[in-house]
A = this chain, B = another copy of it.
Amino acid sequence: MPTIKDVAKDAGVSPSTVSRVINDHPRISNATKKKVKKSMKKIGYHPNIIAQSLVKQKTNTIGLVMPYSAEEAFANPFYSEILRGIGAVAQEKGYSILLITCDGQEEVEASLRAVKSKLVDGILILRAKKDDILLKKLREAEVPFVIVGRPEDADKYYWVNNDNIKASKNLVQHLIDLGHKDIALITGGSEYIVSQDRLDGYKLALKENKIKYNPEYIIHIHGNEEIISKNTKKLLKKNPDLTAIFAVDDLMAYRSILAIKELGLKVPEDISVVGFNNNPLSQLITPSLTTVDINTYQLGEEATSILINVIENKISEYYHKVVEANIIIRNSCDKIKF
């Protein structure tokens, strides 16, 4: 592999001149610039990015923490979609993406290692938990990082999120408008703030409509498997008054629908179902699923854009951005008949 010295020799200039050409230095004559570029092409030279990183103390790489947990959640197209948004902006601004894979509990360690080893200039976190050690450690380490999700101490972080409370409230309001009063909520682990927010939106909608909140209607699910099916069935048997189910992720909604069908009931005639996140498949299933489009791609774009600005010192004050979420009404809900 040719180095900067080989180019210098071939072009009859010094290595620093070659370096200046690489970095588009202003004070360099067009003649030498051309000459050097020709030499680079001739001998097939590519700058060694590792060497550049070492001296510039910057890798132009952002880290993406991805626990490869067995949770089905990971099979969620959410990740592919947000990755697309992240990739698009990163590429446009000349950054690479380093996937930091790790198993479950190691994520704190793995992230810090990537940062302290100078592998990445900044980090993207794809979830926000309550009492999150990872966030605290990263802040202590003074690494640039951006969260997709709403952290606690919201004014001490950079983050991007949907207004989950509002979107959830609107979605439940839609069910209420159709005449539903007994609405179950299937939500995720209560350690995730997104679960809390969607629950809060649910409660808010009930309150505004003077519907009594019934804690028996709430299920917290950890993982995404069979439990949902079992719990849906249990729920429906225990509470024959239920007419609607709100699942906080479309994948969960699919499982609920299946369980409802297995019980011999029909969606939406007997039970209305709504989801969240607008999985691309939700328009293809039968019945097509009413859900909330959270603009996952844009979430990825915005987060990356902010992160790169932080890395390049173009933002100093903590800052967040709320991305619109829109209800998409399809065929999984019916009016209550009196």
Contact = CB atoms under 8 A, between A and B. Distances in A.
Interface of A: 1, 44, 46-51, 53-54, 59, 61, 64, 66, 68, 72, 74-77, 79-81, 83-84, 87-88, 90-91, 96-103, 113-114, 116-119, 251, 254-255, 257-258, 261, 280-281, 284-286
B53 A50 contact: yes
A280 B75 contact: yes
Contacts of A286: 258, 261, 285-286
Nearest to A102: B91
B46 A50 contact: no
A66 B50 contact: no
Contacts of A61: 98
A119 B281 contact: no
Contacts of A102: 91
A74 B66 contact: no
Contact of A49 (B87, B119, B280): B119
Contacts of A50: 50, 53-54, 59, 117-119
A140 to B, nearest CB: 11
B118 A49 contact: yes
A284 B255 contact: yes
State the oligomeric state as a number of copies.
2
Nearest to A116: B46
Contact of A72 (B66, B280, B285): B280
A35 B135 CA distance: 32
A315 B122 CA distance: 36
Nearest to A112: B46
Given A77-B80, A261-B286, A113 B68 contact: no
Nearest to A106: B91
Contacts of A113: 46
A75 B250 CA distance: 15
Contact of A119 (B1, B75, B96, B255): B96
A284 B249 CA distance: 14
Nearest to A119: B49
A51 B49 contact: no
Contact of A54 (B51, B117, B119): B51
A99 B80 CA distance: 12
A330 to B, nearest CB: 12
A91 B103 CA distance: 9
B74 A80 contact: yes
A75 B68 contact: no
A254 B66 CA distance: 29
A316 to B, nearest CB: 21
A333 B78 CA distance: 30
Contacts of A72: 280
A109 to B, nearest CB: 11
A46 B117 contact: yes
Contact of A75 (B59, B81, B258): B81
A164 B292 CA distance: 37
A75 B74 contact: no
Given A75-B280, A117-B48, A83 B59 contact: no
B119 A99 contact: no
A101 B72 CA distance: 25
